[in-house]
Structure 1
């Protein structure tokens, strides 16, 4: 059963200063309420979807934006007047059956979009959120995280919202590649448009030229400025690329494909290898 959102409240559960879960309390129509606890990974997925909806809002024309802003103001006021109570007792006596094990968007409706939270014990909570409510939900989540002093968590989540890492690879001297693959739900891949290949050229401790590469799916084409920002944020995320943190690197970028389809592993890794060879001695480029 799908319930509409009429009010929200948020809090943080932590243990020894470590983030455990975001508590999200939702008030529905007829005064009913739901409380779920969202760990870091499902929370990141929720953020990715919410941020994508904000991006779509930013693409509206000026007339539609003005109309939307008016509706958003009305929706925000209504949510502020229906904030459900969330206190320490609710947090201390959290039921394991309220723990979120996964998040995925459901069907798009005329009145909004479904949010589907999978819970422990194979239960589900499905709620309907209007686009006019999304900005306040993001604000409430961010406020709870920052109010708990977990700025690093907030920055880590925010740094991974505008792209998806697909493959990371080390280029070996014998021409082979050693790579890692990241698995993503189909709905996340479809939020992004362009597959980008990025190659990091650097010098090892023996003064020998080396290269690492990565494939990401992003909303933007291979503009060098945008790609450089993604390349830097990837260093903190990828175990294979982390060794490059603090090292001078020359980065080359190429757009491999555009669209909602899936780039095959074989195609992606072959293109990454070819970009590495093409840019081995050339200046950094964006194609």
Structure 2
């Protein structure tokens, strides 16, 4: 799989999200920040920019890699027999409304930033640094095969107040998997996050936005809510930093969920774009928030 968004995934995304009700649209089916942190600030200081590698260098697990590497490796044989579910279960909890009253800047201008496919030691640290610099928290939908080798970054995400979601183990096209294989893809990733942070993910995102019934059912069994997106930066195509910035700024609106990537290829443009559009969004009065769910 050499691109991040195959044609079938792009065609399926919005139809699936609308039909199944998984995307929080601008009308406001999103989460609300914790009341204890009204500023939405990250609790920990950011590290020095640059991370563990030189930005711009080919990612060791990029989509242009040989077929025996990233996302095409067979799953390990030591799959746990049982997977721990997030506690408490969240499947039946309605997502809070973020639309707010007209002119209510504090509520009506909230957005969510999300990053898929990581963590990658070349790009994720710089993204975390930028988020910390502006006191913003985001969601990271991680792939298990990346998370297992970068548990320090998973722990840093959690320590700095970001939400870690499940993005399967190898980023497969879900409708092509058998149910047992899909259960392993999702369950093993939850296990890695649980082991690294002490808490299993409570959110799940299907690679390419390609959902099916099994994905919803298995995610629910593990205590996770599904989440898609409403603004796709298409940064995986490496269209140029200016283009990525323009797409995010043009798509900005109350209740928007922005999709970007911190792994899966050369993400230098994604890192640079975040440093440009984030301060502009904040200057326009938008508030980056995190999802939460009403208690039962």
Q: TM-score, normalised by structure 2?
A: 0.23
**Which structure has the higher relative contact order (CA within 8 Å, separation 6+)?**
2
What's the TM-score, normalizing by structure 1?
A: 0.23
Query: Would you tell me which structure has more strand in proportion to its own residues?
Result: 1
Rg (Cα) greater in structure: 1
